[in-house]
Structure 1
Amino acid sequence: MVDTIIFDFDGTIVDSKKALVAGWNKLAQKTNYRELKLSDIEKFRKLSIKEKGQFLRCPLYKIPFLMPKFYRLYQEFIHEVEIIDGIKELMENLKTKGYYIGILSTNSPENISTVLERYQITSVSKIFSSTSVFGKDKLLKRLIMEERIPISKVIYIGDEERDIIACNKVNVPMIWVSWGDTTLKK
């Protein structure tokens, strides 16, 4: 029986589109990549990781090197991040029922903690973070090993295709949320 619920952060727990766009645009101005508009987000959500790189005119191999810079810039716009309606109550309810609640994200622990504190979310037991956009499966595996959680007791909640890929690689069931940063292709 599942007793551990791991949440993705951006797009799952919070709506961070404004901060993501503002942070990316500040980085894009310094690097000559394509800037985003909020009106681009709906189209952007439907793109694969490879297509997102092409849209931004950013080679995929550069993304892992850009992420630490990007999340530092994102922090400047953290006041734009808003909690998804009902998530705080859901997480508190799950914690009250005895579930272990964790967050696994490529966002920085500082950014995540800032938002959790602002919204007074205290139900999270652990934050696991890595700037490796392509290694979420390794991070998920590390979380499971470090916390000594049997895979059969874990479920992951996320919003991106790479969340699905990571969960499939580690054999962790996943709940996909439709309000997040990526839409599933039919």
Structure 2
Amino acid sequence: MVATFIFDFDGTIADSLGAIVAITNRLAPRFGYEPKSPAEVADLKDLHTRQLLRQSGLSCCSVLWLLRRVRQDLQREIPHLQPFPEMIEVLTTLHQRGYRLGILTSNTADNVHLFLRLHGLSPLFDFVYTGATLLGKRRPLRQLLRRYQLDPATTVYVGG
């Protein structure tokens, strides 16, 4: 029986793709890559780290600086972002049925908490764990399970 649902934040709860595309395109000249369309940015999400580095032409260090800057700039956009409408109902229903809800994100905890507070969603979540990296979410997910003493057999991850 499922006891806990862990959600990705960007693109699952928060409709943030447009803001992320605008920020990364604005930073393109500074970091030396070509601006991307929303579809191209969405496709990058499915790439492994080496593929992402190869396709972008950026060094690992440059990508890390870029991601840091995107997170910082995204903080200014958080008040303008909306949750996906269907997610509000899903999250509310799961919470009312007694499931434990959490978030695993590569975004900052401050950004996520601000978003949740602005949309009245804070009371629905038991935790926000920031740890997803360029290397994927497998390792941070294992860390999250240990930290919150969650049984993998009764935990569901929802997101990309």
Give the TM-score category using the shorter length: 0.7 to 0.9
Question: 2:93: which partner in 1?
Answer: 93
CA separation in 2, counterparts of 1:28 and 1:41?
Answer: 14
Most deviating of 23-32 and 101-110: 23-32
Between Structure 1 and Structure 2, the one with more helix by share is: 2
Question: 2:84: which partner in 1?
Answer: 84
Query: What SS does structure 2 have at the residue aligned with 1:25?
Result: helix
Most deviating of 51-60 and 66-75: 51-60
Question: 1:117: which partner in 2?
Answer: 117
The sequence identity of aligned pairs, in percent, is 26
Question: 1:16: which partner in 2?
Answer: 16
Note the 1:104-143 alignment, pairs <5 A. Answer: 104-121=104-121, 122-130=123-131, 132-143=133-144
Q: What's the TM-score, normalizing by structure 2?
A: 0.85
Q: How large is the Cα RMSD of the aligned pairs?
A: 2.1
CA separation in 2, counterparts of 1:26 and 1:43?
Answer: 15
Compare relative contact order (CA 8 Å, sep 6+) and give the higher one, 1 or 2: 2
Question: 1:35: which partner in 2?
Answer: 35
Once the two structures are TM-superposed, the CA of residue 133 in structure 1 deviates from its matched residue by 2.0
Once the two structures are TM-superposed, the CA of residue 83 in structure 1 deviates from its matched residue by 0.8
CA separation in 1, counterparts of 2:120 and 2:133?
Answer: 28
Q: What's the TM-score, normalizing by structure 1?
A: 0.74
Indicate conservation of the 8 Å contact 1:2/1:154, yes or no. Answer: yes
Query: What SS does structure 1 have at the residue aligned with 2:85?
Result: coil
Query: What SS does structure 2 have at the residue aligned with 1:95?
Result: helix
**How many pairs are equivalent?**
156
Q: Which runs of 5+ in 2 are unaligned?
A: none
Question: 1:70: which partner in 2?
Answer: 70
Once the two structures are TM-superposed, the CA of residue 19 in structure 1 deviates from its matched residue by 1.3
Deviations 1:161-181 (A, max 9, x none): xxxxxxxxxxxxxxxxxxxxx
Q: Which runs of 5+ in 1 are unaligned?
A: 160-186
Counterpart AA for 1:150 = D
Note the 1:171-186 alignment, pairs <5 A. Answer: none
Residues 74/54 of structure 1: CA separation in 2 closer, same or farther (3 Å cut): farther
Indicate conservation of the 8 Å contact 1:104/1:128, yes or no. Answer: yes
CA separation in 2, counterparts of 1:19 and 1:45?
Answer: 12
Indicate conservation of the 8 Å contact 1:34/1:55, yes or no. Answer: no
Indicate conservation of the 8 Å contact 1:24/1:74, yes or no. Answer: no
CA separation in 2, counterparts of 1:75 and 1:35?
Answer: 21
Counterpart AA for 1:70 = V
Indicate conservation of the 8 Å contact 1:23/1:74, yes or no. Answer: yes
